[in-house]
Amino acid sequence: MSCKVIITRDHEGRRLDRTVRSIWPALPLSAIMRSLRRGEVRLDAVRAREAGTRVHAGQELFVPWEEPENDARVYVRGTVPVIWKGLGALVVDKPADLLVQPDVKDGDSVITRVWAMFGRGGLGFSPAAVHRLDRNTTGVLVVALSGEALRELERLFKERLVEKRYLALVVGELPQKGQVDAPLLKDEVNNLVRVSGDGKTARTRYRRLAAGGGLSLASIELLTGRTHQARVHMAHIGHPILGDRKYGDIETNRLRKAEARRPLLHAHELGFPENLSGPLSELAGKTFRADLPIDMKMIIDRQGWTAEL
């Protein structure tokens, strides 16, 4: 089977691979890349082999797959809490133990839940996550509802114009404040990140909000957006995030495993600049916050901390 679709304005200027994934969200990335390498994908009858090829509204896209399903039903286990909804963007409060993107067809994730709640978009544009949070990180996440909004949001994040502040419970008494400037290198095979001079620039600013009983409550501002950045940087300075099995303190995690079943890291706040126009004008100057999840709140209450978050 094969089909032809006309590129809509929602995809104007997007990469070809992202456009295809948006129209066929259940199609594995490996299948897309294989078809590109084989020359099976064409734009206006010309073979398109590069994933980064930019597409334009009105172009005819030919692919060796069936037409995308217009059925907006997605079978998931629940919904996702909505903090704010505008015309071009949706801000949600991501729970723990939930992927941002599905890893299997119709798998449970933030995005499939959003599709179920607000529709999938058919041949136009399927709501798409603008940035990522780890599976077990909770908090504020932005989803684009149109192609134009997605492109502008991606630009804001790339240019580091969005303020990202996290809250974390870390091991030990954290210094009152400081900054970590340590490049990070990702091991793609093992999905591990480490500090390395061969890595990419990464900067994290932190501030201690409370401390006691072998723990600290930290406010963490990510000045760059690298994979596992907060987790690796806090471990690098000797104050790993409580419950982090990958980069954390083994003994502390063992002693507190009943109350810390995940890395206790929460995307608390996301702030947008004032001078936004066009599809993002509704976000200008807005700051969104997600309440602390229950596991972190219980520990903070037990510690008797009354820190201003």
Instruction: Go through the chain and tell me how many residues it has.
Output: 309
Whether 291 is catalytic is: no
Residue that the structure tokens 């692919």 belong to: 63
Cβ contact 90:145 at 8 Å: yes
Residue that the structure tokens 């916050």 belong to: 289
Torsion sign across C-alpha atoms 185, 242, 95, 179: negative
Instruction: Please pick, among 10, 17, 108, 134, the residue that the annotation labels catalytic.
Output: 134
Most distant CA pair in the chain, distance: 67
Give the HSE-up count for residue 144: Cα atoms under 13 Å, Cβ half-sphere. 24
Q: Which residues have a catalytic role annotated?
A: 134
